[in-house]
């Protein structure tokens, strides 16, 4: 057996994996493998190669969450700020009024959940053959969607660069993953077996084989976050009749990245805040008070541009989807109120 060499994280790294991985823990976990052969060394590659990682660890399959629980548990508790036991709760439909019926501030509302299929390795560890089986299973399941969600699936393989660019411009494709995903192995063989399903009205979409097997998305150019959420729940209910999702009692839905486990849900709005843009401290206070987070509208780790903010839930674990929507609704209403009063 090869001697174990404790990995060296970049001196500037503040990744949670660096904070919690002690030499003793490494010695305990490094020799282990999940039944698909996933190892701790593979799980921490992205954190080692990207000093600006916030957590720096990915799961290669559902079993990673138990085999490597002595490193993942503390990271999950720290990231999600949950204490004690975690209970996964089902969702209910919500009937909240649109936040901004006059469209003065909110440009669009979006809710997504991540799901992985039970019995398959997650994207950083999946084989090409299994990735293609995932694509086939999802393609079959979407044919059974109810009439209002029907649409078509478009695989990216074989598209020439100009076609791909056109789809990207129209948000009908996702690009190859970022350097964090790349180092984790998620971009292998891109764009094979990747694609997007979109309903005819483009309000319901499924990304296939991106960071998770499925990213199920409901969105529209309105402030009706409740309607957007209910559409997502309906699509998800139908898909669950045909697809079995990786789930465990302790952590809810299991995802590639431990930041997404639980509800695996991110619900948010794109909102124009011309005045609060100049009062960053006040905006930050409001966002924190309601447990929300700000991103740029270009996606994760992008900057805010032209006063348009992406405001979404921070909490995904230890909370149910319905509560996430209610919190977002209350928080964004307060932010709009503050903007109006300035
Ligand atoms: N691995 C990256 C980091 O540690 C991304 C974390 C969250 N984002 C995500 N897309 N999973 O910073």
What Rg do the C-alpha atoms of the chain give, in angstroms?
20
The C-alpha atoms of residue 101 and residue 98 are separated, in whole angstroms, by 6
Position 235 scores a pLDDT of 96
Low-confidence ranges of the chain (pLDDT < 50): none
* Structure token digits, residue 129: 């053959």
Q: Calculate how far, in angstroms, residue 180's C-alpha sits from the geometric centre of ligand 1.
A: 7
Query: Which residue has 């020439």 as its token pair?
Result: 160
Q: What is the CATH number of domain 106-139+210-341?
A: 3.30.590.10
The full 3-state SS of 122-183, as one line of letters, equals CCCCCCHHHHHHHHHHHHHHHCCCCHHHCEEEEECCCCCHHHHHHHHHCCCCCCCCCHHHHH
C-alpha dist (Å) from residue 76 to 57, 85, 150, 198: 11, 12, 36, 32
> CB neighbours (10 Å) of residue 314?
16
For ligand 1, is residue 300 a contact (CB within 6 Å)? yes
Pocket probe mutation, ligand 1, options 17, 186, 259, 265, max atoms within 8 Å of Cβ: 259
Output the CA–CA distances (angstroms, integers) from residue 109 to 305, 324, 325, 328, in the order listed: 18, 14, 11, 11
Q: Is the CB of 16 under 6 A from ligand 1?
A: no
pLDDT computed for residue 3 by the predictor: 65
Nearest-CA residue for atom 2 of ligand 1: 53
Backbone φ and ψ for 271, nearest 5 degrees, come out as -135, 135
Residue 88 has what pLDDT?
67
CA dihedral of residues 177, 112, 74, 70 (deg, nearest 10)? -70
Would you state the pLDDT for residue 81? 84
CA distance 109 to 190: 29
Annotated domain spans of the chain: 16-80, 106-139+210-341
Quick check: CB of 257 below 6 Å from ligand 1? Answer: yes
Please give the pLDDT value at position 342: 92
List residues with catalytic annotation.
Answer: 112, 211, 215, 257, 259, 266, 295, 300
Give tens-digit pLDDT for 243-278: 999 999 889 999 999 999 999 999 999 999 999 999
Cβ 220 vs Cβ 141: under 8 Å: no
- pTM of the entire predicted model: 0.94
CATH architecture of 16-80: Orthogonal Bundle (1.10)
- Among 104, 7, 10, smallest CA distance to 50 is for 10
For residue 75 and ligand 1, the question of a CB distance below 6 A is answered with no
For 211, the enclosing helix (H) or strand (E) is: none
Contacts of 22 (CB under 8 A, 6+ apart): none
33 CA distance to ligand 1 centroid (A)? 23
- Classify residue 210 as exposed, middle or buried by CB count within 10 Å of its CB (0-12, 13-18, 19+): buried
Q: How far is the CA of 57 from the centre of ligand 1 (A)?
A: 8
CA angle 210, 216, 222 (to 5 degrees): 120
CB-CB neighbours of 24 under 10 Å = 10
């Amino acid at each position: 057996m090869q001697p174990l060499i404790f990995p060296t994280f970049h001196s500037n790294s503040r990744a949670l994996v660096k904070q919690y991985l002690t030499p003793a823990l490494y010695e305990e976990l490094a020799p282990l493998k999940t039944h698909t052969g996933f190892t701790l060394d593979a799980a921490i590659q992205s954190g080692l190669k990207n000093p600006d990682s916030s957590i720096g660890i990915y799961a290669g399959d559902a079993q990673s969450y138990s085999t490597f629980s002595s490193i993942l548990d503390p990271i999950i508790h720290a990231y999600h700020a949950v204490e004690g036991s975690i209970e996964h709760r089902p969702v209910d439909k919500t009937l909240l009024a649109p936040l901004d019926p006059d469209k003065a501030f909110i440009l669009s509302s979006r809710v997504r959940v991540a799901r992985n299929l039970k019995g398959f390795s997650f994207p950083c560890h999946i084989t090409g053959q299994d990735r293609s089986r995932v694509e086939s299973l999802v393609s079959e399941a979407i044919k059974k969607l109810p009439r209002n969600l029907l649409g078509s699936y478009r695989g990216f393989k074989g598209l020439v660069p100009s076609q791909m660019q056109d789809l990207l411009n129209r948000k009908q494709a996702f690009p190859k993953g970022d350097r964090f995903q790349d180092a984790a192995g998620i971009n292998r063989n891109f764009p094979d077996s990747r694609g997007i399903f979109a309903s005819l009205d483009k309000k319901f979409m499924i990304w296939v084989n991106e960071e998770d097997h499925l990213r199920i998305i409901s969105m529209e150019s309105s402030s009706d976050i409740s309607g957007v959420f209910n559409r997502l729940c309906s699509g998800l209910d139908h898909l669950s009749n045909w697809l079995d999702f990786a789930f465990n009692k302790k952590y809810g839905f299991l995802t590639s990245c431990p930041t997404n486990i639980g509800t695996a849900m991110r619900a948010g709005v794109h909102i124009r805040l011309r005045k609060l843009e100049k009062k960053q401290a006040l905006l930050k206070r409001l966002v924190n008070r309601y447990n929300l987070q700000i991103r740029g509208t270009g996606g994760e780790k992008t900057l805010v541009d032209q006063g348009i903010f992406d405001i979404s839930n921070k909490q995904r674990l230890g909370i149910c989807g319905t509560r996430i929507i209610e919190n977002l609704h209350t928080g964004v209403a307060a932010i709009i109120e503050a903007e109006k009063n300035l």
